[in-house]
Structures are given as C-alpha cells and as structure tokens.
Amino acid sequence: MFINKLNQLYKPKRILFYQEASMDQIDDFYQGVIPEKIAAHTGAFGTYDLPGIFYVKDLEKEVIGIEYRMEDERVNYPADLSSVILEGSFFYSIELDEEIEADRTFIDELFRKIAQDDDAHRVYTDLNIMDEPSVVSVFTSYKKIRILYEAKVYSDRASYIIRDDVDCFDKQYLYKAAYTDFITGHYTWNHLVGFLEMPMNAGITDYAFVHFDIKQFRVINETFGHIAANKVLCNVVDAMKQADFVYASARCHNDNFAMIIKDMPEDEMIQTLEHFFEELSHLEEDENYKIYYRCGVVPMQRSMLAGNRVADAGKMAQALGTGRAGTQITVYTDQMHDDVSWGNYIKGYVETAIKEDEFVVYFQPKFDILTEKVKGAEALIRWNYKKREFLPPSKFIPFFERDGSIGEIDDVVLRKVCQALARWKEAGKPLYPVSVNLSRERLYEKDLITHLEQIVDENGIPHHLIDFELTESATYDNTDYMLGILGQLRGKGFKISMDDFGTGYSSLSLLTRMPIDTLKIDKSFVDPVSTDGEREEDITVLRHIIILAKELGFVTLAEGAESKAQVDRLRELGCEVIQGYYYSKPVPETEYENYLKVDPE
C-alpha cells in the first residue's frame, strides 16, 4: 500500500448534509457507487468537498454526506437530508493508491503511525494529529482513497505576521527566519553568501562551488505529495551536513541547493559528486522511482576569481544540463561563459540584424548524378555581422534554436529564397526547387502552414519550387502531429525532404508513413566511400538505404561528396542526386545564377 501524504488544510464551520448508511452502502461507496440523494449534490455551489463517508463523534455512527458552506442565501441546500453542524477544524490529508475499505480501526492505526514520524512542516504554525478526532472523512475518486483526519494547532505565529506584531518575535526567532529554511531547518542562500564574501573567517583558503537542483521535482510534489517532497529536501540537507568534502551549504530556494566544497582534481570531484547524488537517488515512498539531479560545478580557480558572484557561474553550468536521462554534472568553463554571453547578446540583437539586412542566403547546388546538371539547391544562411564579418551558422544557429528565435531566421531564408526565385522568373531563367530548413521548434507554431504559404504566395512562387527540409531527429517528438503537418504541406504542393537520414534512431515503420519526396543521406555515410577507410559494411548499409528509398518512392540525395571517386561509387550504388563540394560549395546568389542556364536541347 502506497501512502501519499498530501497536505494539511482547514475547513471552516460548515453543515454536513447526510444520510445514514448501511454496511452494504458503505461497501458500495468504496466501489464508486454514491447514494442518489447525495450524488445529486456533487459539485453544487457552496459545497466544500466531494461526497464522502464521515465518522462524526456526535453522531456515533458512520454516515454518507456532503459538506456545505453555512448561511448563504445563494446556496440551494438539500431539503431531503439530515444535517449536523461541524465546527471549523484542521485536517491532515493523505491519499492511498489501493482500492481498500478503510474502516475506522484501520484509519486510526494508520494515523497513529504517521503521527510518530511526520512533521507537518508548516512555516508559521504547528499541528498535532488528534488522539480522539471529532471528525474523520473518507473520499474516493479515480481509484484512490483520500482521508482527512482531524488535527489541532498547538503553535500559531501566523497571527503575529498578520497583525505585524514585531514585539512577539525574539532575536533568535528573527535570526532563524532570516537565515534558515523553515522546511529543512538548514541555512539559506543569505547565510552562505557570508562564506563567499569572507571565506577566511571560516578558515576556508580555497574552494570549488556546486549549485544543483532535483530533476522533475514537480513530479515528486504532485505525484507523491508535498510531505514526501519535503522529505527529499531534508534528505539532501542531511547528506550535505554529513559530507566530509563540504565546507558550507544552503538550500537556496525551491529544490535548488549550493555547496562550497574542497578543491579536488576534476575526475575525483565528479566521481565524489556522482556518489553523493547516487546515495540520494532513492524515494522512500516508491522504491522504483529514481531521483536524478542537475548539477553545475565551478572549479577552484574559477571560484576564487568569481568571488561572491560564483553562483552565477554555477547556475550557468547547471542550466546546461537539459537532458532528462540520469544525473548530469556539468563543469563550468570560460568558453561556456563566452558562449552564454554571446547567446544572450545576439538574442537581443537579432531583430536589429534582420532590420539591417545582415543575413545572407547562400545556395549549394544539387546535381543529377547521371547528367551532372543542376536539379536544384539548398538555401544556407550566413550572417554578415554588422556588415563587418561573415559568421558561420555554427556561431549563431544553435543559440537561436535554444532561445526560440530560429523561426524568425527560417522566415528570413524562405522570404529571400522566394524573392530570388521571383527575380529569376522575371529574368526568364529556368527554375529549380530550392530546399529551406523547417526547424523542429516550429512544428508547434499556431497557423504555421498558413504563415509559410503566405510568404511563398506573396512572391508569386509556385509551391513545387519550395522544398521544406526536416531533420530526422525532429520526427520523434510527436509523431502523429508531425506527420499531420508534413501531410498538409505536401497537400499544398510543397516538396518535403528528410535531412541527415541515418544520424538518429530511425524507425522504418515511420519511414513508410512519411509524406516525403527526398531522402537526404547524411554526409557521415558518404565520407568513407572510396577512401582508405572504406569498409564493406559501410557500402552494404549505403546500398540498402538507397534500395529502400527507391522502393518507397523517394529520391535519394547524398550529402558531402568531395571527390570524383565518391561520385562514381555513389552512381554505381544507384544514388540519384549529389550535393557536395565535388560539384560546388555553397555560393552567393550571383554565382548560383551562373548554373541557371537554358538547356540548348
């Protein structure tokens, strides 16, 4: 049996409308069958809770009923039920995950055990579970049983807060309130700052800094209840106190913690922290649930130089642990700082760059492998940063993908491609499809298809001349939704390509459902072809990818061919289109125009 300790709550003075219940009706209630007279009032205005089984001391028997707010003329109170006044009281709430019949004996014994080892963890008030409660109630929903057991307040400091009564607090209490955490009893970030500002006062000569949080802590809170979640926080605090490598530590906020630790060689430090987090990976309430952490570490030298601003570096490293699998420990580096600073800067500058027309589109031609004539191109973006230097995509695309502004860049490319196609059309040049990237982050944009179609149509470009490229990895977030978006685009006449095929965890069954025109074989498959590193296994895989694509009706395009030998070998294997430096590197629009010549034939 799993016990989810939910919370403590207060119900004011209220009226319980009820009917007496037989043992059969009690049994039926646990099966989800509520007497009609009670069920009719479920969710009615003025009710405090669902219908439930109530053990009321004054009634000396079990009843089934529902609680209402008192003396409200807007409430339509039940006329065909008995009633009793229940005084305002606090309750300790738990949830059971098994379908059991929780009779009074079972409930009393359960709460006696809870009272022995559980602290209510309230900030300004303390509760005790009552030995002889006046009211106990049981509710069922979604195959769970929720029990409310009466509790009593024995310490109330909230009234001082509400009245702003400063004189009621002594110095010790005020110090604890300022520098300790009410839930764990441990020090807060404000306390740890003193160590960072004046470490020598604590006998600390040098140190490394650690900042970490608990992955998916919200899930623990919502699934197992905040009492279980608070216990996890307390376990972390206990471990920090007991660790011999920790000089000082704090619970910063929510599920974030910080530690000043002894300097160690990096490998030893990571191993020590891995062991530290592994010891904290188990959840008492569910042995099958594994707790993972996201940790940023600032090595000694950087910690000393950062001084009291070291937390910024620690949180920066911690934030880079975005993967969900396992505990992640990320060590801070100067390059990390430079990258984040650059990313923050260009995030604020991108609108200006678009306005100043700093983004430039290059075209890398695609060639028919048999005729060696142009069949189209891929549009690739370059940034003429402040009109002073050209930045490669690696210098800005990853940052725009992370901050969500990649859609604006995609639009710039699509618009410039359409404008170029319109100029070539006006000049009477032959037109070939141009592929543009469709970032995975954009698939969930509202009205995406209408937006893309509008950009193309306002330039008068036939849809078949635009080929949207989607990376293979983008197809695994929400498969059905992705297939729907691609299907709609293809239904509008646009071409669809899957880029970088073979670099992700491809699903062959998914490939049979994909509404695509071209399968782009990743450069990593092409690189070993016709080189000293070529293996028969590489050729076998490549050959079967091409055969599979053809049988599914896809055009096969190989990326990255750089030599005649590679092109010849790919031709032998049945590949149809080549995009690579052997024929052409990405070139400016004016150079690509040289490929757009009318075929004399």
The reply to whether 477 and 359 lie within a common domain is yes
Strand, helix or coil for residue 196? helix
Say how far residue 26 (Cα) sits from the centre of its chain. Answer: 43
Strand partners, 345: none
CATH code at position 190: 3.30.70.270
Q: What is the mean pLDDT of residues 173-190?
A: 92
Strand, helix or coil for residue 212? strand
The reply to whether 37 and 146 lie within a common domain is yes
Which amino acid, residue 517?
A: D
Q: Is residue 522 part of a domain?
A: yes
CA distance 208 to 329: 14
The reply to whether 273 and 295 lie within a common domain is yes
pLDDT digit string (tens) for 416-438? 999 999 999 999 999 999 999 99
Q: Is residue 224 part of a domain?
A: yes
The reply to whether 347 and 309 lie within a common domain is no
Tell me the whole-structure pTM to 2 decimals: 0.65
The reply to whether 152 and 207 lie within a common domain is no
pLDDT digit string (tens) for 541-577? 899 999 999 999 999 999 999 999 999 999 999 999 9
For the chain, what is the domain count? 3
Q: Is residue 164 part of a domain?
A: no
Share of the chain above pLDDT 70, in %: 94
The reply to whether 189 and 149 lie within a common domain is no
pLDDT digit string (tens) for 445-457? 889 999 999 999 9
pLDDT at 238 over 90: yes
Q: Would you state the pLDDT for residue 70?
A: 95
Q: Is residue 337 part of a domain?
A: no
CATH code at position 23: 3.20.80
Q: Would you state the pLDDT for residue 496?
A: 95
pLDDT at 477 over 60: no
Q: Would you state the pLDDT for residue 346?
A: 87
Please give the residue that has the higher pLDDT: either 426 or 6: 426
The reply to whether 201 and 130 lie within a common domain is no
Q: Is residue 55 part of a domain?
A: yes
Contacts of 410 (CB under 8 A, 6+ apart): 436, 437, 438, 439, 442
Share of the chain above pLDDT 90, in %: 63
The reply to whether 142 and 238 lie within a common domain is no
Which of 163, 210, 180 is closest to 310 using CA atoms? 210
pLDDT digit string (tens) for 123-172? 778 888 999 999 999 998 767 889 999 999 888 888 888 999 888 888 98
From the CB of residue 351, how many other CB atoms can be counted at a distance below 10 Å? 11
Looking at 275, 299, 332, which one is the last position of a domain? 332
Scan for tokens 């969710």, then name that residue: 43
Looking at 135, 158, 181, which one is the last position of a domain? 158
Is the CB of residue 80 less than 8 Å from the CB of residue 37?
A: yes
For 154, counting Cβ atoms within 10 Å of its Cβ (0-12 exposed, 13-18 middle, 19+ buried), the class is exposed
Is the CB of residue 83 less than 8 Å from the CB of residue 15?
A: yes
Contacts of 395 (CB under 8 A, 6+ apart): 383
Q: Would you state the pLDDT for residue 598?
A: 59
Scan for tokens 């191993």, then name that residue: 271
Q: What is the mean pLDDT of residues 54-62?
A: 93
Please give the residue that has the higher pLDDT: either 415 or 443: 415
pLDDT digit string (tens) for 330-366? 999 988 888 888 888 888 899 999 999 999 999 999 9
Is the CB of residue 426 less than 8 Å from the CB of residue 438?
A: no
Per-residue confidence band for 273, with pLDDT thresholds at 50, 70 and 90: very high
Q: Would you state the pLDDT for residue 25?
A: 93
Q: Is residue 165 part of a domain?
A: no
Domain of 210, in residue numbers = 170-332
pLDDT digit string (tens) for 275-315? 999 999 999 888 889 999 999 999 999 888 888 789 999 99
CA atoms within 13 A on the CB side of 77: 17
- Using CA atoms, how far residue 477 sits from 36, 177, 376, 401, 582, in Å, is 45, 45, 30, 15, 35
The reply to whether 328 and 376 lie within a common domain is no
Query: Which H or E run contains 462?
Result: none
Which of 378, 369, 376 is closest to 569 using CA atoms? 369
Is the CB of residue 321 less than 8 Å from the CB of residue 295?
A: yes
Angle at 365 between CA 362 and CA 366, to 5 degrees: 140
pLDDT digit string (tens) for 290-300? 999 999 999 99
Please give the residue that has the higher pLDDT: either 281 or 442: 281
- Strands 208-214 and 256-261, how do they pair? antiparallel
The reply to whether 287 and 434 lie within a common domain is no
Average pLDDT of every residue of the chain: 89
- Most confident listed range (48-62, 105-119, 320-334): 48-62
Scan for tokens 């699903």, then name that residue: 507
* Full 3-state SS string of 523-581: HHHHCCCCCCCCCHHHHHHHHHHHHHHHHCCCEEEEECCCCHHHHHHHHHHCCCEEECC
Q: Would you state the pLDDT for residue 475?
A: 46
The reply to whether 403 and 528 lie within a common domain is yes
CA distance 568 to 45: 78
The reply to whether 324 and 346 lie within a common domain is no
CA distance 446 to 458: 20
Looking at 101, 126, 158, which one is the last position of a domain? 158
CATH code at position 500: 3.20.20.450
Which of 345, 340, 341 is closest to 386 using CA atoms? 345
Q: What is the mean pLDDT of residues 169-193?
A: 92
CA distance 380 to 361: 6
Residue by residue, DSSP assigns 240-291 as HHH-TTEEEEEEEETTEEEEEE----HHHHHHHHHHHHHTT-EETTEEEEE-
Per-residue confidence band for 249, with pLDDT thresholds at 50, 70 and 90: very high
Which of 339, 320, 340 is closest to 330 using CA atoms? 320
Q: Would you state the pLDDT for residue 394?
A: 87
